[in-house]
Amino acid sequence: MAPATDAYRIIFGPPRVAGMVNTMSENRELTMDDYLAMVRRRLKVILVPLLLAPLGGFAISYLFSPKYTSQATVLVEGQKVPDNYVTPVITSDFTQRVQTLSQEVASPSRLRPVIHGLAVVPPDQEGDLISNIQQSMSVDPVITSMSAAAASSPAAKKAKPSASNEPVPGFTVSYSDKDPVRAQKVCNALTSMIVDENLRERGDVAQSTTQFLGRQLDEAKRAIDEQDAKLAAFKRQYMGQLPGDIDNNMRMLMSLNSQLDASTQTLSRAQQDKAYTESMLEQQLSTWKNSGSSTNPQTLEQGLAILQAQLLQLQARYTDDHPDVIKTKADIAEIEKKLKAVNAAAAEPGTSGGSDKANASEPPEIRQLRLQIHQYQGVMDQATLDQKRLQTQIGVYQSRTAMSPNVEEQYKLLTRDNDNAQALYKDLLAKKSSSEIASSMENQQEGEQMHILTTAGLPKDPSFPVRPLFAAAGGGVGFALGLVLAMLLEFSDRSIRTEKDAASVMDLPLLISVPWLGEDEEDEAANGNGRRRFWGRGEPKEHDHVEV
Q: Which residue in 316, 317, 321, 284 sits closest to 303, CA to CA?
A: 284
Q: Which residue in 376, 449, 367 sits closest to 76, CA to CA?
A: 449
What is the model's pTM? 0.50
Q: Which of 436-440, 475-479, 522-526 tops mean pLDDT?
A: 475-479
DSSP alpha helix (H) spans, 318-404: 323-347, 354-360, 364-401
- Segment 373-398 mean pLDDT: 88
C-beta of residue 102 within 8 angstroms of C-beta of residue 212: no
**Beta-strand relationship, 68-77 and 449-454:** antiparallel
Residue 328 half-sphere exposure toward CB, CA atoms < 13 A: 23
Q: Among 86-90, 134-138, 196-200, 212-216, which stretch is predicted with the lowest mean pLDDT?
A: 86-90
> What pLDDT, in 10s, does the model give residues 131-165?
988 888 899 888 765 555 545 555 445 544 444 44
Quick check: 220 pLDDT over 80? yes
C-beta of residue 72 within 8 angstroms of C-beta of residue 455: yes
Give ∠ CA 182-187-188 in degrees, rounded to 5.
105
Q: Report pLDDT for 191.
A: 92
C-beta of residue 234 within 8 angstroms of C-beta of residue 410: yes
Q: Report pLDDT for 72.
A: 92
Quick check: 121 pLDDT over 50? yes
CA distance 488 to 481: 11
> What pLDDT, in 10s, does the model give residues 54-79?
888 778 777 777 888 999 999 888 77
Q: Which residue in 62, 45, 67 sits closest to 471, CA to CA?
A: 62
